[in-house]
């Protein structure tokens, strides 16, 4: 069955380190999204992509980057992790931009 996976599921890192969170989907969806979930804020869009080589900034993109080299993967990189980036990160994909988004299981990141 097609699905969307994220790895790792839990990560603890130190301030200043570079961290990459993986997102992989097997639906062949062109559209992929990264969100962070924080208490009191709901989910906020970090970056999104409409296809290979396409990436766009979302509402809270500072300190994050993405690259899209193939359809299946959209890794999220924290260039220099900060404590404010402690959060739960969700990846999602959709067949068309405004279609239903299918979410991954999430990655809980702690920055000490």
Partner 1 sequence: AQRVTQPEKLLSVFKGAPVELKCNYSYSGSPELFWYVQYSRQRLQLLLRHISRESIKGFTADLNKGETSFHLKKPFAQEEDSAMYYCALTPSGNTGKLIFGQGTTLQVKP
* Residues forming the site for partner 1 (CB under 8 A): 31, 33, 35, 40-45, 48, 58-59, 90, 92, 94, 96-106
Give least dist CB 87 to partner 1, A.
14
Give least dist CB 52 to partner 1, A.
17
Own/partner long-range contacts of 64-73 (Cβ < 8 Å, ≥24 apart): 64/34, 66/34, 68/32, 71/28, 71/29, 71/30, 72/24, 72/25, 72/26, 72/28, 73/22, 73/23, 73/24
Residue 64 or 90 having the CB closest to partner 1? 90
Give least dist CB 11 to partner 1, A.
18
Residue 60 or 81 having the CB closest to partner 1? 60
Residue 36 or 111 having the CB closest to partner 1? 36
Six-digit token string for 84: 């404010």
Residue 35 or 64 having the CB closest to partner 1? 35
Bridge partners of 57, per DSSP, are 47
CA distance 60 to 84: 12
Give least dist CB 97 to partner 1, A.
3
With contact defined as beta carbons under 8 Å apart, do 109 and 9 qualify? no
């Amino acid at each position: 069955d097609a699905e969307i996976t994220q790895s790792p599921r839990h990560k603890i890192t130190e301030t200043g380190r570079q961290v990459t969170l993986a997102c992989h989907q097997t639906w062949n969806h062109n559209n992929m999204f990264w969100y962070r979930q924080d208490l009191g804020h709901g989910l906020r869009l970090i970056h999104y992509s409409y296809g290979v080589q396409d990436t766009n900034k979302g509402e809270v993109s500072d300190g994050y980057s993405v690259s899209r080299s193939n359809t299946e993967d959209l890794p999220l990189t924290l260039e220099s992790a900060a404590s404010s980036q402690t959060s739960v990160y969700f990846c999602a994909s959709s067949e068309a931009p405004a279609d239903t988004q299918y979410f991954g299981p999430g990655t809980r990141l702690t920055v000490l």
